């Protein structure tokens, strides 16, 4: 990514899985677009009805709908926030599982300028913003591909989506990326600090 100045995108359906993983990449609720609260649920057979809301005290369940063939590619970034002369306010060790190397984008304003230029030149349908984290037991209604279970809140994800792509993955060339970024060992992430230099 760094040497050849590009971002890698994978089909977002690759991140949906019923099995959790140590990296936090996989999520059984990925692709969900609706989260409905259920307070009355009945199981029926030819001879019997079982009312879950009567059997279980304070019964509460959820029904979710998800996209099956999204044709949408995703690139996920972690949003880091610093205070001068202080360690990272919140850092979860699970982030260290995402890979050996980390691309640090130093000038985020310039990054978005480069990204916008690349997108316009290739006429791509793209959207990017911070992910909103929600409690599946509380939210009742429509959600988007920019929503994730609040179990993943530590990721502080900034998500970039490209729409209407049928390939398994894609890359987006970003000329000038090397000028505004650097690569570090992921294990050193937790030691990052911004220091104010003396004049």
Considering the domain boundaries, does residue 36 fall inside one? no
For the purposes of burial, counting CB atoms within 10 Å of the CB of 46, is it exposed (0-12), middle (13-18) or buried (19 or more)?
A: exposed
Give pLDDT, residue 123. 86
Give pLDDT, residue 193. 80
Please give the residue range of the domain that contains residue 182. Answer: 6-31+69-191
Q: Which long-range contacts (CB under 8 A, 24 or more apart) does 94-97 make?
A: 94/22, 94/23, 94/24, 94/154, 95/154, 95/155, 95/186, 95/189, 96/186, 96/187, 96/189, 96/190, 97/22, 97/23, 97/24
The first and second tokens of residue 184, run together, are 């570090």
Considering the domain boundaries, does residue 91 fall inside one? yes
Domain total of the chain: 1
Give pLDDT, residue 197. 76
Torsion of CA 38, 44, 50, 54, to 10 degrees: 30
Considering the domain boundaries, does residue 47 fall inside one? no
Give pLDDT, residue 20. 80
For residues 25 and 15, the answer to whether their CB atoms sit within 8 Å is: yes
Give pLDDT, residue 54. 86
Question: 19 CB contacts (<8 Å, ≥6 apart)?
Answer: 26
Give pLDDT, residue 89. 63
Considering the domain boundaries, does residue 181 fall inside one? yes
For the chain, how long is the longest CA-to-CA vector? 84
Considering the domain boundaries, does residue 116 fall inside one? yes
Series of mean pLDDT values for 10-residue runs along the chain (199 residues): 91 93 90 95 90 88 94 93 73 85 93 93 91 96 97 94 91 95 90 78
Give pLDDT, residue 172. 94
Give pLDDT, residue 90. 67
For residues 102 and 185, the answer to whether their CB atoms sit within 8 Å is: yes
Considering the domain boundaries, does residue 199 fall inside one? no
Considering the domain boundaries, does residue 196 fall inside one? no
Closest by CA position to 71, among listed 125, 25, 132: 125
Considering the domain boundaries, does residue 77 fall inside one? yes
Total number of residues shown for the chain: 199
């Amino acid at each position: 990514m760094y040497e050849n100045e590009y971002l890698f995108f994978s089909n977002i359906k690759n991140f949906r899985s019923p099995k959790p993983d140590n990296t936090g990449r996989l999520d059984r609720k990925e692709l969900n677009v609706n989260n409905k609260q259920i307070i009355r649920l009945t199981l029926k057979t030819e001879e019997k009805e079982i009312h879950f809301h009567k059997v279980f005290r304070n019964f509460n369940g959820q029904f979710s709908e998800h996209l099956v063939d999204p044709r949408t590619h995703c690139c996920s970034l972690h949003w880091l926030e610093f205070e001068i002369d202080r360690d990272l306010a919140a850092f979860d060790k699970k982030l260290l599982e995402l890979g050996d190397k980390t691309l640090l984008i130093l000038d985020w304003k310039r990054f978005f300028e480069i990204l916008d230029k690349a997108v316009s030149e290739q006429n791509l349908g793209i959207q990017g913003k911070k992910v909103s984290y929600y409690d599946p037991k509380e939210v009742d209604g429509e959600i988007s591909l920019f929503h994730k279970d609040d179990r993943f809140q530590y990721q502080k994800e900034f998500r970039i989506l490209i729409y209407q792509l049928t390939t398994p993955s894609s890359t987006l060339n970003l000329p000038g990326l090397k000028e505004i970024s650097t690569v570090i060992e992921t294990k050193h992430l937790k030691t990052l600090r911004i220091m104010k230099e003396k004049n």
